Amino acid sequence: MSAERLSLLSVQTFGELFDYAALWQHDKKKPEFKADRVVVSAFLCHSTAHGPRHPSLEIRPTPAVLEVIGREMLAIDRDRIYFEIITFDDGTSTVYAKYNQILGSHKLANIHTDTIPTF
């Protein structure tokens, strides 16, 4: 999927945003990705709007996601982008790209919750 076609309305599944997912292991060095001048972490946290957090994931964003982040998010010195999914009771989840050190995020998509890998 090209970055031109990646939009909030066109993406419906986890797999359209991330082509790899595994449980986050705190003792292992994680890869980072470059999106233009923005450094993107392989970290994804997953929580629910009203309830417990899910296990964090190590992910790999698709090239189209990296293109969107590079085009639409500012590069901040010594900062990293990570991802967050918030799951709602209606079976939908919202995916954000978020800055690690400053307040700010970019809404990437609303996806079907049942497409998010569980471990």
Contacts of 14 (CB under 8 A, 6+ apart): 21, 111, 115, 116, 117
Query: CA angle, corner 2, sides to 43 and 114, nearest 5?
Result: 50
3-state secondary structure of 64: helix
What is the pTM for the complete model shown?
A: 0.85
The phi, psi pair for 14, rounded to 5°, reads -60, -40
pLDDT at 115 over 90: yes
- Is-contact 7 17, C-beta < 8 A? no
Assess whether pLDDT exceeds 80 at residue 64.
yes
3-state secondary structure of 52: coil
Taking only the tens place, the pLDDT of each residue in 41-57 is 989 898 888 877 788 99
Domain assignments of the chain as residue spans, ordered by start: 14-115
Residues counted in the chain: 119
The pLDDT of residue 9 is: 57
- Phi–psi pair at 17, nearest 5 degrees: -105, -35
pLDDT digits (tens, 9 = 90+) for 72-105: 888 887 788 999 999 999 999 999 999 887 888 8
The per-residue pLDDT for 102 is 80
Q: What is the pLDDT of residue 6?
A: 52
